[in-house]
Amino acid sequence: MAGAGFWDDQETAQKITGELRILNGTVKPLSSLCKSGDDLEVLIEFAEEDDSDETENEIRQHIEQLDQQLEEVELKAMMGEPEDACNAYLQVQAGEGGTDAADWAEMLLRMYARWAELKGFKIEELDLSPGEEAGIRNATIAIRGDYAYGYLKSEIGNHRLIRISPFDSAGRRQTSFAAVDVTPEVDETIGIEVDFTDDKIVREDTYRSSGAGGQHVNKTDSAVRLTHLPTGEVVQCQNERSQHKNRAQARKMLIARLYQIEKSKRDAEQAAKRGAKSRIGFGGETIRHYVLHPDRYVKDSRTGEKSGNPDAVLNGEKLDQFIEAWLRWSIGR
């Protein structure tokens, strides 16, 4: 970075500074942990000469801080795959349950957006299809921050909501499903090559964006949908006013999807866990249950992690509890 002309190529410079930030995020906590361990040894030596309550309390506080530092380092070590440090594309799709499912999908999207905001991550809406009466049918957002994918890969699967339906005049209990898929935002160095000029490999469709009426965004066919014919993978982007920018973003998303598919082929266990082809509904694999009536709790069916405060989870405030539990479970399973 200190070399002459480093900042002349902004794109390369940003990648390198991003790599440095991630490396520092690993090395600095380890260095701090080692220093805290050394400080604790010194405190213990003092305590052998001074057995006062003050010294004992200081040691106790230091151990608590050391425990917290150790947990943070352990959590980062659990995200050891190369793509874990990447930004993430997160897609939410409504499943069985009609309007309730569309509303549930929007609730999940808000939960992840709120979680990302609390982490200090950046959020960009890439595609959104509203529901017929309320909520959304599907949406894709980019969440950009260190280890965004490493955290969010725990959320891949079907999410089940049980509540009294606000759309049922009889006030009956309703079960709704929504599916979440997460892929890492990878760059061109990963080795996935796609000939976007060959219409036998990639079909491109353009359409009018579904933004608010009267805006330029839905007066032209600026939205882009790409279908990778060999795999059937479909991505779409409509957030930009320019068709060119939407096409570029959609291509990045498709490469990310294809990377994920190739990785899953090399890792059969990861493919089964991902459940990308499972049906969104009663026949699919449900990873988490959100119960708002008659009891109130959230429970992960993989780890057994449970919270009696569903509001805090749905507000993104307690989602880390489930993410961290899954990371520990995935290492030890």
Q: Transcribe 185-244 into DSSP letters.
A: E--GGG-----TT-TTTEEEEEE-----TTSGGGTS--EEEEEETTTTEEEEE--SS-HH
Domain 83-333 has CATH 3.30.70.1660: yes
Q: Over the stretch 77-113, which tens digit does the pLDDT of each residue have?
A: 888 888 898 999 999 999 987 899 999 999 999 999 9
Residue ranges per structural domain of the chain = 6-77, 83-333
pLDDT digits (tens, 9 = 90+) for 272-305: 555 544 445 555 689 999 999 999 999 999 999 9
Q: Tell which wins on pLDDT, 15 or 198.
A: 198
- 285 DSSP 8-state letter: P
User: Residue 101's pLDDT is what?
Assistant: 96
Q: pTM for the complete prediction?
A: 0.80
- Tell me, what's the pLDDT at 291? 98
What confidence score (pLDDT) does residue 211 get?
55
The stretches of the chain forming alpha helices (DSSP H) are 10-49, 53-77, 98-119, 148-152, 243-266, 268-274, 310-314, 319-332
Cα 182 to Cα 143: distance, rounded to the nearest angstrom? 10
- Which is higher by pLDDT, 241 or 294? 294
Decide the pairing of beta strands 306-307 and 297-300: antiparallel
Residue 15 has pLDDT above 90, yes or no: no
**Helix 98-119 vs helix 319-332: angle between axes, to the nearest 10 degrees?**
90
Name the residue among 298, 294, 295, 296 with its Cα closest to residue 286.
298
- Which of 233-237, 257-261, 273-277 comes out lowest in average pLDDT? 273-277
pLDDT of residue 215: 46
Average pLDDT rounded to a whole number, residues 156-161: 95
